[in-house]
Amino acid sequence: MARRQTSRLGRIGAVTLVAAFLCGSIGSGLDRIGTKSAGAMSAVPKLFADASLGSAALRHIANEQYAEAEATASAAVRRSPLEPARSGALGTARLALGKRGPADQAFRVSGGLGWHDPLTQLYWLQVALDRGEYDIAAERLDALMRDNPAEARRPELFAGLSATAAGQRALASRLKAAPSWRDAYFLPAAETPVSELRARAAVLRQLDDKPVLGCKAGAPLADRMVRSGEPALGASIWREQCPEADDGLLFDPGLSRAGVRRLSPFAWVKYGDGVSDSHNGGVTLDTAVSFTRRFASQLIVLEPGNYTLAWSAADESGEPSDRIVAAFGCTADTPVQLTSERRAGTKYQAEISVTAACSSQYLALSLRPGNGAVKLTELTLAAGS
């Protein structure tokens, strides 16, 4: 009974992999691709061009018409028995029909003819996963991804390896060779579940080169984590991968890289033209406003506790200016204005109390009404006593 159950689970796993692979790579338009249209077939991704052989068998598989797929693939194999893709299609159809023995036989034939057929690779990938042979499974997946690197963005094909620490180590071993699909792997699709994001972060941390991605390539992965409710993980990955990320609690405290388009989810967002000039260690705000106007905000991740936000603000004559307003809250739209006080000279500070009510926070900076320039420098955020 246990053997039959294991066999059944292996069949379901392999068919699921094939279904995910087919749907993602060709999509719903596959059933409209004609076998006689060279133009239509040229639209099939290279990953499937060999497997489809312009036949109806693959279309039947994608449409879950497995009996028709088996009949069509059987005829194709009889016509050309040395084509591994045809045996791979036959094995896939048989597997979906529950014919495990005949399916395995077809895949063994296909594998013996070479390992360039993706359906055959998918089958033996699932077999390796069922056996706990994660290094072999990673080898199969590596072969698939090298043919079409963009597929590495999708989570379905990696779920089996991502689910265990051993599988993650096997993936990391493959990624250490910097294959063509590495960048896509660390640019996961928007629908990637949190579990897969965590797994990819774990794999990333096992690679030898630091940083692996850098600021630009690391930002999308961090952003995916933030959007999936994992801001702390996103922040740690961002700081590990971006050499420009500061060690302090604030990124770019001098606002030297503030922009309308963020470098990362943890970079400053600049609003309008409020920041007219940035320099090492601060910015000059040279704009007349008739109402309190936000000029920058930043997503931060703080543990519960007390913190002190401090800055220096001076007008054009070097006198203290109280026109800088700081606000803090759980979302970008609902920060609460902080009470600030001048400590000495042009130095101001505000106390912040962080609770566990939100997993990340937003700091917003605004300029009070007035004329003339204000120079903002020495912005810091530090844990309080």
Query: Which band of pLDDT confidence, cut at 50, 70 and 90, is reported for residue 16?
Result: low
Amino acid 161 reads L
Quote the distance between the C-alpha of residue 369 and its chain's center. 42
Query: Which comes out higher in pLDDT, residue 258 or 100?
Result: 100
Segment of 27-36, 43-52, 87-96, 360-369 carrying the highest mean pLDDT: 360-369
pLDDT at position 353? 94
Please write the tens of the pLDDT for every residue from 46-55. 444 334 444 6
Query: Which band of pLDDT confidence, cut at 50, 70 and 90, is reported for residue 138?
Result: very high
Please check whether residue 160 is in contact with residue 13, taking contact to mean a CB–CB distance below 8 angstroms.
yes
Q: Please, what are the domains in the chain?
A: 2-239 (1.25.40), 269-383 (2.60.120.260)
Q: What is the pTM of this model?
A: 0.77
Cα–Cα distance between 114 and 109 in angstroms, integer?
9
Cα–Cα distance between 283 and 278 in angstroms, integer?
4
CA angle 138, 141, 147 (to 5 degrees): 140
Average pLDDT of 8-19? Answer: 53
pLDDT at position 3? 37
Please write the tens of the pLDDT for every residue from 265-318. 998 888 866 556 666 678 888 777 788 889 899 999 999 999 999 999 999 999
Q: Which of 14-28, 218-232, 370-384 has the lowest mean pLDDT?
A: 14-28
Q: How many CB atoms lie within 10 A of CB 119?
A: 29
If phi > 0 it is left, if psi is from -120 to 50 it is alpha, else beta; for residue 12 that is: alpha
- Name the token pair of 202: 């774990």
Q: How many CB atoms lie within 10 A of CB 6?
A: 12
Average pLDDT of 361-373? Answer: 92
Average pLDDT of 144-158? Answer: 90
Indicate whether 1 pLDDT > 70.
no
Contacts (Cβ under 8 Å, ≥6 apart) of 45: 25, 26, 148
Residue given tokens 């604030």 in the structure block:
250
pLDDT, the chain, mean:
82
